[in-house]
Every structure is written in structure tokens, then in C-alpha cells.
Amino acid sequence: MRFKAAIKNIHTFTKLTGSLLLLSKVVWIRLDNDQVRFTVIPERGSQVWAVLSIDSIFEDYSVQSNTPGNTIHLQVSLTHLNRALRSAINATSASIRLTKKDGIPLLSITITTTTFASLRRPPTFEDSNDRRLPSEAPNPTSRAEVEGGNDDSISFQDHPPAPFPSDRETTITQSVAVIVLPPQSVASIHEPTCREPDVHILLPPLLQLKAISERFTKLALPTSSAATGDENLSTRLILSASPYGEFRIGVQTAACKIESKWQGLTNPELDPTQIEGGEEGVREHASTRQKNLTRDEAWATVRVEGRDWGRVLGVGRLGGRVVACFCDDHALILYVYLENDESGADDSVLTYYITSYSQ
């Protein structure tokens, strides 16, 4: 069983693990010949099923195992992995490989950095009253008087020239303990299935949405929760979208009712090649029927836990477009499409599954 690769995009890799860490401390990583998958299934809260193209974060990628497709399953601590990747942010190069030490499997991240020797020191100045600036020690061996000496005369003390600065490479290896999972232990884990979404909509910038969501959550938290920081007391936010390019987020309690609304957003069209039944399947799709309703009736609504929703929105640091699929009063699915600079490269998609609470 072998795995090694050069880390091509350390910033994306670090931001990805950082956003997943907001939801769970452990991630299941699946490596094979075609893709890299990251899966987070916490005991409570939203699930993440991320499928990344290999060239979005790696190059010189190599994986070998005895299973079909050279598949390797790893359970990794996101805390330790993210910490190791953060140390490589300013590295000139970084690589990752699966190793073993004392019988313990490890992900070893090798980081190469370049440092520069210090530049030569500037000359020291001395005034006529022997007040040395900035050095306090005279240098009798090297002194040149300025002509026309008077009370304002200044002399210069030159130091011997230092050697030119030179590059110096430093190599550091960070090791993260992992658990190699046998294929049979993950065979029963499957991505959640949901009914057909009623509304698809392209969300506004997630970082903007995160700031508003966190403000609503804090305003609506019970006083006892705000004072004690009790994580068990939570606020449920109400999210709604319509096929007319509208999106709302709000909170309603006995004490307040707050809502923000966006208009002019994009409702992506369904691709017949991706829908069972092709053109006929699109005509019969739930989202198509939703478009036949009036503007007031066409809203699809879900209720989500405020803190969990705020953690999900942390993926906004990765950029890219986000399509939200609303299954009315059932679930919310977010598809986060990461940007890829290479034309023709496969899309990298993070899929978030968020369950709706009952009214």
C-alpha cells in the first residue's frame, strides 16, 4: 500500500481542512486512481461529502493498493492535519506520503522553505561632540573626516563589507498518525439520499451570508445562553428560496422577528443529461412544478440550527459558486464548486447535507 504526491495547491488544501474542522475533528479520506474524497459524518450536524479532482491539490500523484482502483481508506485527525498544512503555507515546496513508523501508519508532510542570510550592516555615524549614533563604541581603525571641519562636522565609520546574502533551504517533516480502514468497514457508508429538490438557487457570497447569520443567531439566543455560553441552547434559522431568484434568511422568537431578503439571484436550469428520463424527466421534476406556482406560493423553506449553519458557511473561504437545493421542510443540500484554473479539468465539488427541523 503506497501513496505519495506533491502538494500543488497548499492554500486550497489548508482552507479545505480548516472548513471541515469546523464540523468535525475526524475525516475519512478515500484515495484512488481518479479522485480524492473527503467525508465528514459528525454525530450531530451537517454531513460533508467532498469529491476533488486530483490536480486541484496534487501533482505527481501515485497510489497503489491491492483493492480495485488502487483505493486506500484513511481516518485522519483534522486538527493535526490542518496544523501540519498551516506550517507549509509559506513553503517553496511540499509533499505528502503514506509511511509507517514502529508499526504506526503516518501521513508524512515534507516541507521545504528558503531563508536568506542577513544583509550587511549600515554605516555608523558620529557627530563632532563624540555622540555616536547609533553605535556607542568608537571604531578608531576606520575613520574619514568630512572636510571643512567645524562644530557641525560629521565623520563616518565604515564597517568591513559583509558577504552577499545567500539562500538556505530548510526541510521539515510533519507526521500525522492515521488509521488505515479495511474496505469492508466502510462498505456500508453511503451518501444520503433526498427527494427531488423544489428549488435550486445560486446563493449570495457565503462570507456575507455568514456575517448576517451569526448576527441573527446571537440576537435570538436566549439570555441565559448568551450569558453562560451554553452550546445546548440554540436558535433555528429559517431559510427560504423561490424559483424567481429570491432568497430569505430570518429568525423568529417570542421576542423578535428579523429577516433579510435577496433578489435577482440565479436559478440554475436542470441539465437533461443528468436527469433520469431526459427532457421528460425535467418537465416532471419537482422544481419545474414549483415554477408553475405564484410568486407567493413558490417558496421552499427549511429550518436549520444556527450554529451548525454558521460552521457550514465557513466553506466560503474556499471561494467558488454555491448552489443550494431546497427540499421543502425536509432538507437543504449545498453544492460548493471549487474554482479550477486548468481548462478541461474535472470539477471539484463539496456536498453539504443539512437536515431541516420541523416547524
- This prediction has a pTM of 0.81
One pLDDT digit (tens) per residue for the chain, 359 residues: 999 999 999 999 999 999 999 999 999 999 999 999 999 999 889 999 999 999 999 999 999 999 999 999 999 999 999 999 999 998 899 999 999 999 999 999 999 988 765 555 555 555 545 444 444 444 444 444 434 444 444 444 455 555 555 567 889 999 999 999 999 999 999 999 889 999 999 999 999 999 999 999 888 776 434 444 544 456 889 999 999 999 999 998 777 889 999 999 999 998 888 888 888 888 889 998 999 899 999 999 999 999 999 999 999 988 889 999 999 999 999 999 987 766 555 679 999 999 998 76
Q: CB atoms < 10 A from the CB of 210, how many? A: 19
CA–CA dist 13, 91 (Å, integer):
14
Distances (CA, A) of 212 to 111, 215, 273, 324: 38, 5, 37, 17
